[in-house]
Structure 1
Amino acid sequence: MNGTDVLRVGRQQLHVDIRAGEGTPLLLCNGIGANLELMRPFVERLEAMQGRRIPTIAFDVPGTGGSPTPRLPRWMTGHARLLRELVTKLGFPQVDVLGISWGGALAQEFAHLNPKLCRRVVLCATSMGMVMVPAHPRVLLALASPTRYFRPSRMRELGAAIYGGGFGEDKGVADAFARASRAPDPLGYYWQMLAGWGWTSAYYLPLLRQPVLLVAGDDDPIIPLVNAKMMARLLRKPTVHIVHGGGHLALLTHADELVPAIHTFLS
């Protein structure tokens, strides 16, 4: 399979986008409420890299983009099992996983539950869940609602405050992000929030056998940099890449720096 399609995985329909390449594919786990199209600039830059063309698997979490909202919520473990079923259905014997923000929690859970299926892990702007240094209350309040996805102007207005790293100052990046955004089902958004309630990876990070690349910006209002340093102390095989001047969406705003680093780590 190559391209965009809707697949039935167990009882759930998943909107997926598969890009062909060579070797182990990269499974992409997006942030809360974010549709897979928001990952496309990163995917396209990754495809343009010299050397191995890394295959990618992007998907919409149930309740976002083209994946319908389930009647009942899933915990983080349930989302990780759903991804295992997706990878198995696609016929891949092994994958790498990249997660950003909420998707970083899912990537950790996937790696933990599937040590043989998951080869390498890239964690961007994420934390250990409940065991973390939190954002400022005003940032958490802004994240509690999916309003920014429903109003593009609100996305630009909130960008500098909640994403940092020059997101709000770069009108081109902010506008492209707003245009690519699809408003999630509000219930699906809150199902995702519920999945993270009480979740933490702190107890199993020392047990992860996979090499892990931690990407963190020093201007991230949502996930302060200290969280990546805390995680690195627990992991067996960590590599930390600090993006100076980078914010929560450094994967987009600092792609020239990060895409080659991620490509090298995975290759």
Structure 2
Amino acid sequence: MDWSSSYVRIGAVSLLSVGSVWAYRQFFAVQGRNRGCFRTLKAQPNRSLAYREDVMEGSAYASLSTGETHYYLLGPQNGEKLVFFQGMSSVNALLLPVLRQLVDNGYRVLIYDYYGRGYSDAPRVPYNESLYVTQGRELVEHIGWSKFQVLGFSLGGAIATSFASQYPEKVTRLALAAPAGLMESLALPAKIARLPVIGDLFAQSVAPFILFYMMYRGSLHLHKAPELELWRSVSFDQVFKHPGFMAAYHSTLVHFPFTGLAARYEKLGALGLPVLLLWGTNDRVVPYRLHQRVMQLVPQATFVSIPNTAHELFYESLDQVARPLLEYLQASRSQ
């Protein structure tokens, strides 16, 4: 090997730098069962965060088996109960538009920060299907809900499907928006993140910049959304300030079955539970064509195609999404 080559020297220095960052975060950063969250940062002086606990009413905490979970209960206390499983990188503040629609139509909505997001703890555990489903189950038991409707978006759609297939006695109706779990393959950054050692280095060095760039680029077409600046500010805080977010995100890429939930969807189909499926025709994150696979496995589902809409359908086309969603959810009132 010609070590006099400038390219080789640059590559070696870059690898050493990346390795140093990873080693510092792994061995010299504060260790413990919980990596920390926005609560950790809020306790520090001169820390400003875009996502505040009081951004919505009904903020509360639940001590669950794997850590503290931050959640909101929104809407009238006697309203129809609905649990919202959100996307992989979202926090509650970024879903204000659709939450307002649900609350204004009389729903009592439970939405919460997944582990490793927002103000919930970031435990040092594998972020797999079991962790996400168990967090949801323990939380609804904590607040005393036994039956409710469920709405799941993206990763949350996969979690909602797993939850409903495992606890069908709790779910009366299920709405899925661009749900994950049936991906044919993962994007290149996700494949790199799954590689031994290299994936850890990647997640702790280059990946945050790639992820934020993807978030920012995905928000460029959302110029009409009133919460757009909040979206970008919260996304920045999550990626670059949150002490547990990137580790949780990386662990989810490694351990969650993004391509392996066919059996859960098939079980959902066999149960005959009412299902609404919403998908944007321009979705490239969870490709639109996958709606065909969902319909094969869940034949009782009602499918609604949202034209000229990408993955963030609750922002890009809220009006087109809200109408069929509310009609579907409200159909239970006449039964």
Partner residue of 2:97 out of 41, 53, 58: 41
- The 5 A counterparts of 1:78-89 are 78-89=131-142
Residue 129 of structure 2 contacts residue 257 of structure 2 at CA under 8 Å; is this kept in 1? no
* C-alpha distance in 2 between matches for 1:19 and 1:100: 18
Partner residue of 1:179 out of 233, 253, 266: 233
Alignment gaps of 5+ in structure 2: 1-56, 194-202, 331-335
- The 5 A counterparts of 1:117-266 are 117-127=170-180, 129=181, 131-134=182-185, 137=188, 145-147=207-209, 155-156=215-216, 158-159=217-218, 167-173=219-225, 174-181=228-235, 182-183=237-238, 184=242, 185-197=245-257, 200-208=260-268, 209=271, 210-266=273-329
Corresponding residue number in structure 1 for 2:59: 4
- Change in 2 beyond 3 A, CA 1:86/1:187: same
Partner residue of 2:113 out of 56, 60, 72: 60
Residue 88 of structure 2 contacts residue 154 of structure 2 at CA under 8 Å; is this kept in 1? yes
* Secondary structure at 2:266 match in 1: helix
Is 1:25 aligned to 2:84, yes or no? no
1:33-60 Cα deviation digits (max 9, x unpaired): 22111122210122234xxx01111111
Is 1:69 aligned to 2:125, yes or no? no
Paired-residue identity, %: 23
* Secondary structure at 2:71 match in 1: strand
* Secondary structure at 1:171 match in 2: coil
- Higher RCO (Cα < 8 Å, 6 or more apart): 1
* C-alpha distance in 1 between matches for 2:137 and 2:252: 18
Corresponding residue number in structure 1 for 2:163: 110
- Change in 2 beyond 3 A, CA 1:103/1:147: farther
* C-alpha distance in 2 between matches for 1:234 and 1:46: 28
* C-alpha distance in 1 between matches for 2:258 and 2:95: 27
- Change in 2 beyond 3 A, CA 1:124/1:188: same
The residue type equivalent to 1:147 in the other structure is: F
* C-alpha distance in 1 between matches for 2:127 and 2:222: 36
Give, in angstroms, the shift of residue 132 of structure 1.
2.9
- Equivalent residues, number: 250
* Secondary structure at 2:263 match in 1: coil
* C-alpha distance in 2 between matches for 1:193 and 1:205: 20
Residue 26 of structure 1 contacts residue 56 of structure 1 at CA under 8 Å; is this kept in 2? yes
* C-alpha distance in 2 between matches for 1:33 and 1:251: 14
* Secondary structure at 2:168 match in 1: coil
Larger Rg: 2
* C-alpha distance in 1 between matches for 2:283 and 2:116: 26
* CA RMSD, 1 decimal: 2.6
* C-alpha distance in 2 between matches for 1:225 and 1:176: 27
1:89-125 Cα deviation digits (max 9, x unpaired): 1011112221111111111111111110112111111
TM-score by length of 1: 0.83
Partner residue of 1:94 out of 128, 147, 154: 147
Residue 120 of structure 1 contacts residue 266 of structure 1 at CA under 8 Å; is this kept in 2? yes
Residue 135 of structure 1 contacts residue 222 of structure 1 at CA under 8 Å; is this kept in 2? no
The residue type equivalent to 1:232 in the other structure is: M
Larger mean Cα displacement after TM superposition, 176-185 or 14-23 = 176-185
Give, in angstroms, the shift of residue 204 of structure 1.
3.3
The residue type equivalent to 1:191 in the other structure is: S
* C-alpha distance in 1 between matches for 2:258 and 2:321: 31
Alignment gaps of 5+ in structure 1: 160-166
Give, in angstroms, the shift of residue 171 of structure 1.
2.5
